[in-house]
Amino acid sequence: MNIKKWTPLSLSVLTTLVLCAAYPTPLVAQAPALGDPVTTVPVAQDGINIRLVNQTTDTITYEALGDTQPRRLTPTADITLQQINTPATLTFFYEDIPKDRQTGVGLLQTAINFDETTGVLDIIIRPTNDLDADVSNLTVEANGNVFVF
């Protein structure tokens, strides 16, 4: 007959086990790494100014989340959004062309420039067939870092 012997645990080991079970390590959500910013802009207390330029042959729908409702930007038109709060996220996409990443239809790319004389962040939206160049979101962080994705 096999008899199992139990070894008593010390009080400190028992205390540690009880505390670990009672207070598990919390999971901390981390934002995905965005990489390097495409540019950095100065941020004023009253926000930033962004000029969108539609260099496509179709209407673009855009929205500054939390600052505007969805709006339309017709072909070859431009609009300046004033005093956009930071952090800011701007979305844009073709109004009537569904995005199809397999065929390369409905993809957009941007050229971004900060005009120091006017203090305006210029975002030029152009069509592309290159999946790697496709973007539909722009984020300006509170520190002025600008990311596109």
Structural domain contains residue 115: yes
86-140 pLDDT, tens digit per residue, is 999 999 999 888 888 788 899 999 999 999 999 999 999 999 999 999 999 999 9
Domain that holds residue 81: 39-148
Query: What pTM does this model have?
Result: 0.76
Structural domain contains residue 119: yes
54-84 pLDDT, tens digit per residue, is 999 999 999 999 999 999 999 999 999 999 9
Q: Which residues contact 111 (CB under 8 A, 6 or more apart)?
A: 122, 123, 124, 126
Q: Kindly report the CATH number assigned to the domain that includes residue 130.
A: 2.60.40
Structural domain contains residue 91: yes
- DSSP, collapsed to helix, strand or coil, labels residue 26 as coil
**Count of domains observed in the chain:** 1
Pick the closest to residue 91 from 110, 75, 113 (CA basis): 110
d(CA 30, CA 27) in angstroms, rounded, equals 9
Structural domain contains residue 33: no
Identify the band that residue 23 occupies on the pLDDT scale cut at 50, 70 and 90: low
Cβ atoms of 147 and 38 within 8 Å: the answer is: yes
Structural domain contains residue 60: yes
Structural domain contains residue 24: no
